[in-house]
Amino acid sequence: MAKVKGDIIIDIEKCKGCELCTDACPQDSLETAKQVNSKGYLYIVKIEDNCTGCTNCALVCPEGAITVYRKVNNQKKEIAKFKNITNDITLTVNE
């Protein structure tokens, strides 16, 4: 598993669906949606969970519509360990 984990939020009301970000994304995680926003543009959505937070999409975005997040290490929290599970079990976690 990669140690760097990224994510993006697209302001779909600003997005005009120009697809420059889909082309710039090295992970191919972006795609044009099937829906339109209030201005009638087919906006862009993230379809894969493989974002590295490289910011390429945001850099080429003419609308400044993309915010990029990135976290290195420790972003995964271990809550329980299992060994040799063969049957259905239900785990209850207290938090």
Q: Is 78 in the site for another protein (CB under 8 A)?
A: yes
Q: Is 55 in the site for another protein (CB under 8 A)?
A: yes
Q: Is 32 in the site for another protein (CB under 8 A)?
A: no
CB 42 within 8 A of CB 33: yes
Residue type at position 48? E
Q: Is 45 in the site for another protein (CB under 8 A)?
A: no
CB 8 within 8 A of CB 51: yes
Looking at the DSSP bridge assignments, the partners of residue 46 are: 30
- Comparing CB distances to another protein, the nearer of 34 and 82 is 82
Interface pick for another protein out of 28, 35, 36, 39 (rule CB under 8 A): 39
Side-chain half-sphere of 67: how many Cα atoms within 13 Å? 5
Centroid of chain to Cα 70: 10
Quick note: the x/- pattern for another protein over 11-30, rule CB under 8 A, is --xx-xxxxx--xx------
SS3 85: coil
Residues that bind another protein (CB under 8 A): 5-7, 9, 13-14, 16-20, 23-24, 39, 41, 53, 55-56, 58-71, 75-83, 85-95
